[in-house]
Amino acid sequence: MTRRTFAQVSAAGAAAQTAKPEQILMLVYPGMTLLDLIGPQQVFGYLMGVEVSLVAKSKDPVTSDTGVRVLPDKTFAEAPLAPDILFVPGGGRGTVALMSDTATLEFLASRGKNARYVTSVCSGSLVLGAAGLLRGYKATSHWAVREVLPSLGAELVNARVVEDRNRITAGGITSGIDFGLKLAARLRGDDYARALELTLEYDPQPPFRSGTPEKAPPNITAQARQMYAPLVKAAHASAARARQSWHPQP
Amino acid sequence: MTRRTFAQVSAAGAAAQTAKPEQILMLVYPGMTLLDLIGPQQVFGYLMGVEVSLVAKSKDPVTSDTGVRVLPDKTFAEAPLAPDILFVPGGGRGTVALMSDTATLEFLASRGKNARYVTSVCSGSLVLGAAGLLRGYKATSHWAVREVLPSLGAELVNARVVEDRNRITAGGITSGIDFGLKLAARLRGDDYARALELTLEYDPQPPFRSGTPEKAPPNITAQARQMYAPLVKAAHASAARARQSWHPQP
């Protein structure tokens, strides 16, 4: 599949192709969970009339939490000032580290201020929150760390995808596919999004009924919470530091 | 998340970590659909006691069908001769081109012969088939191109994940997540796979009911079939060429 082929099935897509491409900026950083990024990137990449760019501090390869190396397309300095979509994927320790990274937070604050949509999957919302971009917004995150959101000024909602004005945040890792399709529908209409869902053959059949803390067997959930406890603690500490650095809200 | 943290929740995982790592080889090539690869890679990457490698002809960056550049870890020459898992992702024109690429087919045939599991997502099964690896096996593929499988000697089964002895093939793009979790359960047991499903927060909520040709609105399916028609035709031609190059089955 290529995005060009979609012109054949969508008048909206074909029309979008003739306009100035919409700019989609997707942050990449060491330790990110790559599936958080590639779920929506695969969807956005099949849209007509978009330029999807992976953005990082430098153009050096970025290694994911499971060891895949991807190449950024643009540096922070090269990224457009008013993107149509600003997106942040989540991860583990690398994501919590990013909550204290001044250059990244300043980049996100500057682009988020002028973006049409400010978005995240998984713990990416904690980084948006640390940049001050979720103050006064409903938001969600990976189930293990979402309790940190209120201390970043957000109103926590336990849903797979949370839309509040131009902020769209999604839950853990695989929720990025649902998020991507929902945003595709906003940008190009429901029929285009239906064609994408069909292309992705998104008729999921999870082999276990363990996709949320409520549905998983209690012992599995308890073990996972224990595993995540140090990460949650570190995220709370990062959130406290981030709040101190915020300028008064405009 | 890192794979190390899973040692805390899984005795099986901790035990596997002390043994010689299992080798997982994942083919990468120009035009691949990256979500086909990253769905299962994210799952495999969270397993204890594995070495997951992206394998390609050279170590030059490989560009996906939606423009993401990833770096291979190993060349064909560097790849172990008897991997535990051999995996091929799908794609569009790049995948059909690969069905006629002698170096790739020879590589897959040589590793597939000795692999513990021979696997694919999406149209990756057409490449396995072109390499002669699905002769006499039940298999599936992306809905748009799965009709090509019988001409590669496979018995087509319309299911999201098809397991026949050590061949495991999955349907279109997002089926890679279901596939990855099923294989994780085979390798490390159901509880480990449940913990992974929880980590991935795999409680999908497709925004439309359009994930299969049967479920999508008829006009969307018809348009998509029309879009895919040239690709299906090219795949049939590649399959015919591949059959001519096969050695007699051992």
Specify whether the CB–CB gap between B142 and B90 falls below 8 A: yes
Q: How many residues does chain A have?
A: 250
CA B245-B247-B248 angle, 5° bins: 135
Specify whether the CB–CB gap between B223 and A9 falls below 8 A: yes
Neighbours of A95 (CB within 10 A): 32
pTM for the whole structure: 0.94
Q: A122 catalytic, yes or no?
A: yes
- Touching A: B residues 112-131, CB under 8 Å: 122
Torsion of CA B206, B117, B132, A203, to 10 degrees: -10
Q: Among the options B16, B48, B115, B122, which is catalytic?
A: B122
At residue A11, the pLDDT reads 55
Q: What is the pLDDT along chain B (250 residues), one digit of tens a residue?
A: 444 555 555 555 555 555 789 999 999 999 999 999 999 999 999 999 999 999 999 999 999 999 999 999 999 999 999 999 999 999 999 999 999 999 999 999 999 999 999 999 999 999 999 999 999 999 999 999 999 999 999 999 999 999 999 999 999 999 999 999 999 999 999 999 999 999 999 999 999 999 999 999 999 999 999 999 999 999 999 999 999 988 766 5
Q: Is A189 a domain residue?
A: yes
The answer to whether the Cβ–Cβ distance between B197 and A208 falls below 8 Å is yes
Q: Is B47 a domain residue?
A: yes
Contacts of A152 (CB under 8 A, 6+ apart): A126, A129, A130, A134, A135, A239, A242, A243
Tell the residue number behind the tokens 């990224």, with chain if given: A79
Q: DSSP for B74-130, please give it.
A: EEGGGS-SS-SEEEE--BSHHHHHHTT-HHHHHHHHHHHHH-SEEEE-TTHHHHHHH
The torsion angles phi and psi of A65, rounded to 5 degrees, stand at -65, -20
Which DSSP category does A150 fall into?
G
Q: Is A170 a domain residue?
A: yes
Reading the block at residue B167, the tokens are: 């061949």
Q: Is B241 a domain residue?
A: yes
Q: Is B250 a domain residue?
A: no
Which DSSP category does B26 fall into?
E
Tell me which residue in A68, A177, A224 faces B41 most closely, judged by beta carbons.
A68
Tell the residue number behind the tokens 């994780």, with chain if given: B184
The answer to whether the Cβ–Cβ distance between A177 and B172 falls below 8 Å is no
A226 lies within 8 A of chain B by CB: yes
Counting as low any pLDDT under 50, the low residues of chain A are: 1-3
- What is the rounded CA–CA span in Å between residue B80 and residue A241? 47
Which one of B35, B37, B44, B63 makes the best mutation probe of the A interface by having the most chain A beta carbons within 10 Å? B35
A142 lies within 8 A of chain B by CB: yes
At residue A88, the pLDDT reads 98
Specify whether the CB–CB gap between A3 and B224 falls below 8 A: no
> What residue in A sits closest to B44 (Cα-Cα)?
A66
The answer to whether the Cβ–Cβ distance between B202 and A206 falls below 8 Å is yes
Q: Among B205, B209, B210, which Cα is nearest to B224's?
A: B210
* Residues spanned by the domain of B95: 3-245
- Touching B: A residues 29-48, CB under 8 Å: 33-35, 38-39, 41-42, 44-46
The answer to whether the Cβ–Cβ distance between B202 and A211 falls below 8 Å is yes
At residue A17, the pLDDT reads 56
Chain A with chain B: Cβ pairs closer than 8 A: 254
- What is the rounded CA–CA span in Å between residue B48 and residue B18? 9
Q: Is B230 a domain residue?
A: yes
The torsion angles phi and psi of A53, rounded to 5 degrees, stand at -125, 135
Q: Is A250 a domain residue?
A: no
Alpha helices in A71-172 (DSSP H): 93-98, 102-114, 124-130
- Touching A: B residues 146-175, CB under 8 Å: 160-161, 171-175
Buried b (16+ CB within 10 A) or exposed e, B215-245: bbbeebbebbeebbeebbebbeebbeebeee
The answer to whether the Cβ–Cβ distance between B65 and A2 falls below 8 Å is yes
At residue A1, the pLDDT reads 45
- Touching A: B residues 204-223, CB under 8 Å: 204-208, 210-213, 215-217, 220-221, 223
With 0-12 CB in 10 A as exposed, 13-18 as middle and 19+ as buried, what is A206?
Answer: middle
Reading the block at residue A194, the tokens are: 């239906």
CATH number for the domain harbouring residue B128: 3.40.50.880
At residue B9, the pLDDT reads 55
Which DSSP category does B32 fall into?
B
How many domains in chain A?
1
Q: Among A24, A29, A59, which Cα is nearest to A45's?
A: A24
